[in-house]
């Protein structure tokens, strides 16, 4: 079922839901944990809640709007993963192909020098043995020494060069034996380019965005005037994110080095893991198309494969009861996760301040894009929003 346009939202679509979510947004804004956000909620393909709140740019008092554009960071991943799955649907790619079939030189070695096979599925599920520079303990760790870009900085290199640098660093573990959040979707981006014979931005547009009529999302901001200003949680209020500012997500890690200007730089390489810019409405449309079974984009069986736990009994770090599918996490045990969400719920976010989830059992697709890191990604706000959606106490 296609998603109803925002203009068709009834004023009384779900007043109790609206009151609960409004209260969560107002608390986060009043407490200056968020500067601004756009929240959209669809139920069974019908938009039942939409609100743009706070400021897109606080200093100029520019209000957040429903069509505000955001640096999507890892909200890019489900979009690029979907592009890869469209190639699978077209018979041009197999999940169990070895990556070297398409990227002959991508042969990272284990610490003992052995070069194992890596499959497309292992890239898409973060089980390939790769990592992220921002998550390494040392600021001069292996990825930093190799000059690997996380796709969020201002590195003036090509995608091919970044993939070469990734391949030059030792794998963290034998592919398929563990899970580690990683630059694997950047490698997937290079693989998509090889399969399609075109730049990643053009391939994603042809495979996913254009078929869905999504025109506000790309690897460079299509309308810079609508781009939200990013902020970092601070006391007494969030501060404006500076160019090349490094902000650790977890204590004891190197942290993410940000280049807000990257969203405006057509020369920056297209990062399949973190490089897109888009609107909340576009993100909702992509996710809700998947929730509804893939529409004309993907056969239902491949959507089900994306939503299947691909990581066995492995729990994700600091996420009890949660495994990983293709493009996003999958809730395995709501009790262990202390969540009101249904088993099988998909979820992920983005380091610029985003979170989203899809509960197919209840027909829910929820997107929250904010301009405040890291509260909008993994702060109390995200828990409060989830609980408000479910009416949980």
Please state, in angstroms and rounded to a whole number, the distance separating the CA atoms of residues 15 and 161: 52
pLDDT at 247 over 60: yes
Closest alpha carbon to 89 in 250, 262, 211: 211
Kindly give the pairing relationship between strand 239-240 and strand 329-331. Answer: unpaired
- The answer to whether 280 and 66 are in contact (CB under 8 A) is yes
* Dihedral sign from CA coordinates of 82, 224, 149, 37: negative
pLDDT at 2 over 80: no
Distance of CA 260 to the CA centre of its chain: 17
pLDDT band at residue 135 under the 50/70/90 scheme: confident
**Residue with the larger pLDDT of the pair 374 and 137:** 374
Q: What count of other Cβ atoms lies within 10 Å of the Cβ of residue 94? A: 13
| pLDDT-above-70 percentage for the chain | 97
Query: Exposure pattern of 186-204 as b/e (b: 16+ CB <10 Å)?
Result: bbbbbbbbbbbeebbbebb
Please state, in angstroms and rounded to a whole number, the distance separating the CA atoms of residues 201 and 186: 12
The CATH architecture one would assign to domain 6-75+212-390 is 3-Layer(aba) Sandwich (3.40)
Average pLDDT over residues 309-336: 93
Please state, in angstroms and rounded to a whole number, the distance separating the CA atoms of residues 147 and 156: 11
Which sequence positions are flagged as catalytic? 74
Model confidence pLDDT, tens digit, residues 24-35? 999 999 999 999
pLDDT at 12 over 60: no
Computed over every residue of the chain, the mean pLDDT equals: 94
- The answer to whether 233 and 249 are in contact (CB under 8 A) is no
Q: What is the pLDDT of residue 393?
A: 63
- The answer to whether 214 and 277 are in contact (CB under 8 A) is no
pLDDT band at residue 369 under the 50/70/90 scheme: very high
Q: Is 138 left (phi over 0), alpha (psi -120 to 50) or beta?
A: beta
- What the block records as the tokens of 323 is 């495994």
Is residue 368 classed exposed, middle or buried when 0-12, 13-18 and 19+ CB atoms within 10 A define those classes? buried
Q: What is the pLDDT of residue 392?
A: 74
- The answer to whether 52 and 22 are in contact (CB under 8 A) is no
- In the numeric block, the tokens 């947004």 are attached to 25
Please state, in angstroms and rounded to a whole number, the distance separating the CA atoms of residues 359 and 344: 7
DSSP string, 132-146: -GGGSSSTTSHHHHH
Average pLDDT over residues 147-160: 95
CATH fold for domain 79-208 = Beta-lactamase (3.40.710)
Model confidence pLDDT, tens digit, residues 168-207? 999 999 999 999 999 999 999 999 999 999 999 999 999 9
Model confidence pLDDT, tens digit, residues 324-353? 999 999 999 999 999 999 999 999 999 999
Model confidence pLDDT, tens digit, residues 273-292? 999 999 999 999 999 999 99
Closest alpha carbon to 257 in 371, 134, 137, 147: 134
Q: What is the pLDDT of residue 169?
A: 97
Model confidence pLDDT, tens digit, residues 73-114? 999 999 999 999 999 999 999 999 999 999 999 999 999 999
Q: CATH 3.40.710.10 region(s) of the chain?
A: 6-75+212-390, 79-208
pLDDT band at residue 314 under the 50/70/90 scheme: confident
Q: What is the pLDDT of residue 54?
A: 98
List of residues 6+ apart from 131 with CB closer than 8 A: 143, 172, 180, 181, 182, 183
Distance of CA 252 to the CA centre of its chain: 23
């Amino acid at each position: 079922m296609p998603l109803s346009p925002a203009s068709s939202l009834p004023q009384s679509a779900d007043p109790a839901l609206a009151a609960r979510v409004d209260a969560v947004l107002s608390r986060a804004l009043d407490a200056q944990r968020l500067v601004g956000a756009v929240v959209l909620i669809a139920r069974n393909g019908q938009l039942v809640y939409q609100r743009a709140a706070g400021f897109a740019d606080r200093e100029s008092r520019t209000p957040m709007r429903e069509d505000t554009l955001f640096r999507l960071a890892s909200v890019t991943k489900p979009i690029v993963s979907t592009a890869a799955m469209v190639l699978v649907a077209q018979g041009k790619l197999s999940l169990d192909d070895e990556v070297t079939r398409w990227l002959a030189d991508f042969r990272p070695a284990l610490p003992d020098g052995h070069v194992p096979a890596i499959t497309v599925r292992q890239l898409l599920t973060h089980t390939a043995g790769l990592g992220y520079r921002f998550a390494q303990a040392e600021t001069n760790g292996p990825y930093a020494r190799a000059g690997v870009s996380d796709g969020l900085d201002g590195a003036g290199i090509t995608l091919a060069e970044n993939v070469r640098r990734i391949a030059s660093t030792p794998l963290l573990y034998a592919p398929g034996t563990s899970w580690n959040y990683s630059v694997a979707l950047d490698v997937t981006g290079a693989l998509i380019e090889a399969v399609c014979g075109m730049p990643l931005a053009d391939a994603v547009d042809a495979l996913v965005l254009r078929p869905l009529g999504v025109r506000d999302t790309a690897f460079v901001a299509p309308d810079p005037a609508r781009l939200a200003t990013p902020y970092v949680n601070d006391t007494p209020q969030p501060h404006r994110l500076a160019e090349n500012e490094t902000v650790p997500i977890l204590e004891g890690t190197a942290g993410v080095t940000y280049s807000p200007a990257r969203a405006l730089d057509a020369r920056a390489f297209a990062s399949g893991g973190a490089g897109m810019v888009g609107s909340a409405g576009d993100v909702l449309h992509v996710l809700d198309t998947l929730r509804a079974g893939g529409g004309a984009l993907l056969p239902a069986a491949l959507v089900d494969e994306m939503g299947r736990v691909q990581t066995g009994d492995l729990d994700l770090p600091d996420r009890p009861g949660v495994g990983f599918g293709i493009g996003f996490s999958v809730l395995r045990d709501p009790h262990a996760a202390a969540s009101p969400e249904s088993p099988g719920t998909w979820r992920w976010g983005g380091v610029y301040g985003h979170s989203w989830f899809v509960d197919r059992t209840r027909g829910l697709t929820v997107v929250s894009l904010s301009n405040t890191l890291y509260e909008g990604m993994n702060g109390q706000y995200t828990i409060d929003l989830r609980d408000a959606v479910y009416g949980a106490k």
